[in-house]
Amino acid sequence: MNRRIFNLFKSTFLIAVILLSASFSNTDDAKDSVIDYGCHQVEWTSQIGVTVNADGGVRSTTNTSYGSNAYSVDKIPASENGSFEFTAFSMFGFVGLSDTPSYTGYSSIDYAIQLWSPNIVYIVESGEERGYKTTWSSGDVFKIEKIGTQITYSKNGTIFYTSTAVANSDLYADFSFGNEGTGFDAPKLCITDVLATSSETPYLKDSYKLYPNPSSGVFHFSSPFTGKIDVFSTSGQLIKTLEPTLTSNIDLSELHNGTYFIKKVSHEGMSEIQKVIVKE
């Protein structure tokens, strides 16, 4: 009898250990799959020829052409919206987003802002030059933003180029430049949950409300600040731009039934994105 009880206890203990191990394994897997939404200072890896400042900004330690390279630990998942921004300091080179960062040059950067002399900005995508687009000076804030599968480039909150390429891969912040002492400041990577919806509640931080959602086409809008609203398709195409009052209705009833993205941009430069559904 005692032996039978011992064997039963032994079997029960082994089962408990197996279940506990599986639980920890599943927890680790879930932790690995969690997407950290919001905006975060960029953490760099595979650094070559650079030092990293407290704000994540970088400075070159070499005069070798394109000898300063690194890419971000975090990424913008292909399934999500997001952006990468940085503040210009003093550099001549490439900063952007890459789906397969190689830290060996600029040709692998899929969507790059090239800061060049004398203070001009080119767009270069996968090594292909898209032309001169704007100017730059120290302190300008540049952003590369992905909405759906579309990429836009902006300076100080104003879009100056929209890519014709289709962005459907994970994207990492990436850079390649040279000249000792040069670099850029305050790099930030933002990830937005494109799957979030709400029936009568605000999308992020109570900054504005847009409801009901889904809707037959007319959404009630209220916000503590003024600005504009951009309406995008799921592929990232800009459909229309609106400038609602602090409290008003947004009429999208002329659109076909389906899913759209609403981007609210305040006059102060803050922006948020919400998925909305139009259906009869």
Each residue of 232-271: pLDDT tens digit? 887 677 899 988 887 888 899 999 888 888 888 776 566 6
Question: How many Å apart are CA 237 and CA 242, to the nearest integer?
Answer: 15
Q: Give the angle subtended at the CA of 84 by the CAs of 114 and 244, to the nearest 5°.
A: 110
Contact 39, 56 (CB under 8 A): no
List C-alpha distances in Å: 106 to 52, 168, 209.
19, 20, 42
Joined together, the tokens standing for residue 202 give: 């605000």
Q: Residue 277: which of 228, 211, 215 has the closest Cα?
A: 215
Comparison of pLDDT for 234 and 163, the residue scoring more: 163
CA distances from 12 to 18, 25, 188 (A): 10, 20, 51
Which residue is listed with tokens 């659109």? 255
Alpha helices in the chain (DSSP H): 2-33
Contact 91, 183 (CB under 8 A): yes
Q: Identify the three-state secondary structure at position 180.
A: coil
CA quadruple 69, 75, 81, 85: dihedral sign = negative
Contact of 83 with 143, CB cutoff 8 Å: yes
pLDDT value at residue 268: 59
Report the residue count for the chain.
280
Q: What pLDDT score was predicted for residue 201?
A: 33
Domains belonging to the chain, first-starting first, are 38-192 (2.60.120.920), 209-278 (2.60.40.1930)
Q: What is this structure's pTM?
A: 0.63
Asked if 76 contacts 171 with a C-beta cutoff of 8 angstroms, the reply is yes
**Do the Cβ atoms of 108 and 94 come closer than 8 Å?**
no
Rounded to an integer, what distance in angstroms lies between the CA atom of residue 174 and that of residue 100? 10
Percentage of residues in the chain having pLDDT higher than 70: 78
The token duo for 47 is 């650094």
Distance, in Å, from the CA atom of 134 to the CA atom of 159, rounded to the nearest integer, reads 10
Burial class of residue 112 (count of CB atoms within 10 Å of its CB; 0-12, 13-18, 19+): buried
2-56 tens-digit pLDDT: 555 545 444 544 444 444 444 434 434 433 344 556 788 999 999 999 999 999 9
Average pLDDT rounded to a whole number, residues 128-142: 95
- Name the strand (E) or helix (H) holding 221: strand 218-222
Q: Which pLDDT score, from 0 to 100, does residue 36 have?
A: 58
Residue 62 corresponds to which tokens in the numbers above?
């070499």
Question: What pLDDT sits at residue 228?
Answer: 85
